[in-house]
Amino acid sequence: MFKISKRGLAAIIAAVLITVGFCMAKYAESGAGAVDVRRTEFLTSDGHRMSAKLYIPKNATAETPAPAILAAPGGNANLENLSDPCIELSRRGFVVMAFDPYTIGRSDSVSAPDNGAREAMKYMRSLAFVDNENIGAFGHSAGTGRARWAVTDDGEQKHVAEGIKAVFYLAAGQFDLEGVNHGIYIGSWDNTYPAGGAHLSARELDTAESFTTTLGVDRIEFGKWYGSVADGSARVFYTGNSGHPSALVLPQPILIMTDFFSQALHAPLLEAKGLIYPWKEFGTALGIIGILMMMFPVLSILFDMPFFESVKRPMPEPVSGVNAPFLFYCIMPAVINTLLCKWAIYNGQNFLGGFNRVLRINNTNGFVFWFACSAMLTVVILAIRFRWDGTIDRERILTHAKTTWPNFFKSLLLGVMAVGVVFGLTYFADVLSGLAPRIWKVQLNTLDARRIGVFLTYFPLYLLFFGVFNFSQTIGLKIKGQSEGRFTFLVWLTSTIPSAAFLIYAYGKLWITGYTAITNVQMSRANGTLLNTILTYFITCKVTTYCYKKTGGYHTGAVINAILMTWTAVAADIILAV
């Protein structure tokens, strides 16, 4: 009988997930073959590089140009985050172009008030298969401001350019332009309403003066069209059961947007039934799971190499069991970390943003600052336990912490080689399918030269933090008789409690009062960061326990986790232009 080893079986499963996942995602993104999807780069009139993705339906040709829509991502998001509405719009007959604003994704880091939105619009309108008299744009969150820049042609952003017929604002915006049809969607679970600077409750949107005054009504009827499409005076306000980031992935807002553009830019040219974009989300999720899963058989092979033999040692005896000090060690850091979360993420961006010539990714700065506070808290808890817990084996802890410089560099090399395989598979998937492996906003994007430089800046910080976290978790959470699966779950649970508790608090307050815990962009970034953290910890906690079992130490796991977390942090986010 042919026998397959565990790591061989894991590698086969990972390869199947990668292949099936990306084939499924590519098929869905192309609208089941009805749309030609192209990843492209172009130079702006000032010579800057911009990155974009074009969705070209089969009906769009030089002989029969089609209506076109520019898609502007919000905040720190790159073009991949807009793929779901882009898929559904394009398979209904619209040319769609999503772009990476300046400083984000693969576009150059340039300081410009419109973040390159007008240059992106100019490029899209230069394409032969685009109907220049039937142009629209949409933006999500801060992308609504970029969409406004894109559809106007003056410095005050008040004069709508010729040929622009419709603009749609998703999760923010106002009816603030004359001569262009407007659609706005803000969900009942949204967390920011920048209407005239007012902090509004989702329950007040239909009577908010910033909207009602423009429409000339006392109360807005959601979904009702006010004005005329023909002369560009149409206005329509939508709401639904969605939050800020989820407006880009839920069926209701996406179908609302397709219906809006079908009316505001006249009927689409292709018939499309149902929704196909969920298969793209599912496929890319399978792909990222397969790529990350492949890391473990690779690690198993590396650990068996004689060169890395010295990094391995017997696993120390675990803590005796669940007792009062153990519960204190598990619960107290999580509780205090939860209380720190809001303050640290909000203020960390501002504090570390003062060092923007070095720490150039503002959204990551808030997360790094929170990690720094968490690491210091962990050290304090360890010191307390050292002082007061008479059952603790100090010799075991000191032995566990020791390594030699040669072995540390071997751990570093081992981590680079293991994650290098993940990076290679990501690059391979990108080249073949044009897709970034992702779950939610957690993306494994290939790094260009600029982002490699930023990676090297943040990596030592993440390595320091994960060194503290992995050390404390491996000495404090391993219990006698505990399986690796239960060990991994306990590490994940204690790591995740702060993020989950804060999100429960934030959305609980929204549900009870209609107001958010943090307003405007800070809430949006905290929200996205913490949701991403919960997902990312599934892999980092598994790395922690797997490497601990293999090496009896925490160093290799800390290196790999620091590489992975730094990679996801810098791969697509805003690089501050200095």
Domain ranges of the chain: 35-269, 321-397+406-571
- Judging by beta carbons within 10 Å of its beta carbon (0-12, 13-18, 19+), is residue 541 exposed, middle or buried? buried
Residue type, 517: A
Domain 35-269: which topology? Answer: Rossmann fold (3.40.50)
pLDDT of 195 reads 43
How many angstroms separate the CA atoms of 535 and 111, rounded?
A: 32
Task: State whether residue 365 is helix, strand or coil.
Answer: helix
Residues 6+ apart with CB under 8 A from 124: 52, 68, 70, 95, 97, 130, 135
Q: Which amino acid is at 437?
A: P
Q: Pick the closest to residue 30 from 58, 65, 3 (CA basis).
A: 58
Q: Is the CB of residue 357 less than 8 Å from the CB of residue 365?
A: no
End-to-end distance of the chain based on CA atoms, in angstroms?
A: 63
Nearest to 116 by CA among 138, 89, 141, 143: 143
pLDDT, residue 197, reads 47
Size of the chain in residues: 578
Say if residues 200 and 271 touch (Cβ distance below 8 Å).
no
Please tell me the predicted confidence (pLDDT) of residue 194: 44
Residue 189 DSSP SS3: strand
Question: Among all chains, which residue has been given the structure tokens 């952003």?
Answer: 157
pLDDT of residue 499: 84
Residues 134 and 67: beta-carbon distance below 8 Å? yes
Cβ count within 10 A of residue 246: 16
Place of tokens 């992308």: 143
Residue from 541, 465, 458, 463 nearest 497 by CA: 541
Could you give the CA distance from residue 554 to residue 475 in angstroms, rounded to a whole number? 9
User: Which of 513, 80, 43 is closest to 281 using CA atoms?
Assistant: 80
pLDDT, residue 394, reads: 74
pTM of the model: 0.91
What tens-digit pLDDT sequence spans the chain (578 residues)? 456 788 999 999 999 999 999 999 999 999 999 999 999 999 999 999 999 999 999 999 999 999 999 999 988 889 999 999 999 999 999 999 999 999 999 999 898 999 999 999 999 999 999 999 999 999 998 899 999 999 999 988 999 999 999 999 998 888 989 999 999 999 888 865 444 445 667 778 888 888 898 899 999 999 999 999 999 999 999 999 888 888 999 999 999 999 999 999 987 778 888 899 999 999 999 999 999 999 999 999 999 999 999 999 888 877 767 777 777 777 888 888 888 877 887 788 778 878 877 888 877 888 888 889 999 988 888 888 777 777 677 777 778 888 999 999 999 999 999 999 999 999 998 888 888 888 877 888 888 888 898 899 999 999 999 999 999 888 888 888 888 899 999 999 988 988 888 888 878 877 777 777 665 555 566 666 777 888 899 999 999 999 999 999 999 999 999 999 999 888 888 887 66
Pick the closest to residue 469 from 569, 554, 392 (CA basis). 554
**The pLDDT of residue 330:** 78
